[in-house]
Amino acid sequence: MDSSIIDVTGAGERISFSHTDYDTSRVDRLGDEYQKQLNLNDQQVHILNQLWYPSNNFSSIPFCRSQIVKLFVLILDDLSYKYQKQGTAIEVEFNTVADLMTRSRVKHGLNDYSYKHTMLSSLTDIHYNIFKHAENALRIHYGHTRKINTDPDVSDEEVLTEYHLRITNKLSQVLQIWIPRVDMPDRKTERLLYGQSPGRWRQSFERISKEFRNNMARYMDLVMDLAELNSSNPSLEMIYYEASKDISSVDPQAALTLYIYYIHADLLSDTFDNRPLNKSNIKKLFKTDEQLHDFQVVIENLVASKDLGQALAAVSTVLLPKRKKISLNADAIEVIKQRHSGTVELLNKYLQEDEGPIAVEQVPLVVDMPEPLMSAPGGTAAIFTADVNLSAVQSDILMHFSRNNYAVPQCEIEQMAKERGVFKNQLIDSINEACYDYIGDVLIEEEEDNYVIYEHYYENILAK
């Protein structure tokens, strides 16, 4: 753009002006600052140097500031191209509007002694208004929630109409083209933007929820990364809280983990809000009152210690199935021993009479058992689900567990296996192997001298 004011009155006069017409002592000379970085020409440098640009939180971020200047220069170039296609020039259009603005501000038009100064000021106002449009467009594009006023400093309605017709309308078209092409903020800039705009995280979180809610590993990674970028944001804790609510019905364990992060962040904030889980989420997360109680204990310990690592380790087991504690009644066992002591002595006597003196150790305790349950018509599927494909022998062993409170001495299982012509370990392993894919765990486990079954697992393999 030529450094002069074109007379649009028809008299053909060109009013020249030099750089000294402006305040050269101004510190923020954007043209000089970005001449090398953006490879600006002399004309672009001159226009930028004339802008009195009060810095603000957004534009004080180096990355944002450079992108505003870059977008401003691109806008002027594209406006110039569009005016040329219409058979006019950017200088003519800007000077026409500046002249209208000046005439509304001074009393005697060109004859007024202040016309030249006011005309130059009006041209600067036009450039500054375009610069503010560039900044505002970037704020919106970067998700910065605070906007700036871009209304031109024009009070006359006729002049304002002409301003919009010649400049603002075309400016809107140009911005739609160039905004998608600007560089996006780097991580350092993102942290600064999140710190300045506490609600900005919601836009990013909504995108994560919409696109990755069915991919929990990716969801968690992105939420934790968003939280890291918001480390200086006073609303950090709300990221964890909203994410916990968001996935309570999708992944309860991940939801509890995020709630632990929320409480920890809340403890480190200025005010401890301690937002509770709502009732609907509690129903989604916990299957039993015991699980809820265990989780409350984890929260209480975290509030007391502020130890995040300890709380995360503790919450990882809250939703796991609880193993039943098997307690053997020593008095009852002793009674059974006494009941069968005569049988043992008599057996030893018979063996000694038939085969001579033989040292016979005490016979393992054998509990009276009913006859093995016969398979119902149609096979074991009548008792257990067909998905586990159990044999009659395997079904009999499992039914024996159900009749003995899911805990049977190993020696008893060994005797039953021997009666059926199989080895104890082979029998137990075959049952576990048949059921593993269905329940996702080992069905029969060793506990001291007993074999035990988790009752919930047993119920899962029953035919429905």
Is 395 part of a structural domain of the chain? yes
Same domain for 49 and 130, yes or no, is yes
Same domain for 411 and 449, yes or no, is yes
Is 423 part of a structural domain of the chain? yes
Is 143 part of a structural domain of the chain? yes
Is 389 part of a structural domain of the chain? yes
Same domain for 37 and 60, yes or no, is yes
Is 11 part of a structural domain of the chain? yes
| The token pair that represents 123 in the structure block | 């041209």
Same domain for 123 and 221, yes or no, is no
Q: How many CA atoms lie within 13 A of 238 on its CB side?
A: 11
Whole-number pLDDT of residue 440: 73
Same domain for 176 and 220, yes or no, is no
Same domain for 176 and 81, yes or no, is yes
Whole-number pLDDT of residue 17: 34
Same domain for 173 and 256, yes or no, is no
Same domain for 53 and 142, yes or no, is yes
Same domain for 274 and 335, yes or no, is no
Tens place of pLDDT for every residue, the chain, 464 residues? 444 444 443 333 333 333 334 444 444 689 999 999 999 999 999 999 999 777 899 999 999 999 999 999 999 999 999 999 999 999 999 999 999 999 888 876 666 668 888 999 999 999 999 999 999 999 999 999 888 999 998 989 999 999 999 999 999 999 999 999 999 999 999 999 999 999 999 999 999 999 999 999 999 999 999 999 999 999 999 999 999 999 999 999 999 999 999 999 999 999 999 999 888 889 889 999 999 999 999 999 999 999 999 999 999 999 988 765 555 556 655 666 666 566 656 656 655 555 454 443 443 433 333 333 233 334 444 688 888 888 889 988 999 988 888 889 999 998 988 888 888 888 998 898 888 878 877 889 887 788 889 887 888 888 87
Whole-number pLDDT of residue 176: 93
Is 189 part of a structural domain of the chain? no
* Residues 359, 410 contacting (CB under 8 angstroms): no
Is 320 part of a structural domain of the chain? no
Last residue of a domain, one of 184, 208, 242: 184
Same domain for 166 and 236, yes or no, is no
Expressed as residue numbers, the domain containing 207 is 198-315
Whole-number pLDDT of residue 95: 95
- Which among 371, 361, 363 has a CA at the least distance from the CA of 336? 363
372: number of Cβ within 10 Å: 16
Same domain for 120 and 177, yes or no, is yes
Last residue of a domain, one of 261, 288, 315: 315
C-alpha 231/C-alpha 423 separation (Å) is: 61
C-alpha 96/C-alpha 78 separation (Å) is: 19
For the chain, the domain total comes to: 3
3-state secondary structure of 408: strand
3-state secondary structure of 407: strand
Whole-number pLDDT of residue 332: 58
* Residues 422, 393 contacting (CB under 8 angstroms): yes
Last residue of a domain, one of 249, 280, 315: 315
Same domain for 8 and 135, yes or no, is yes
Is 323 part of a structural domain of the chain? no
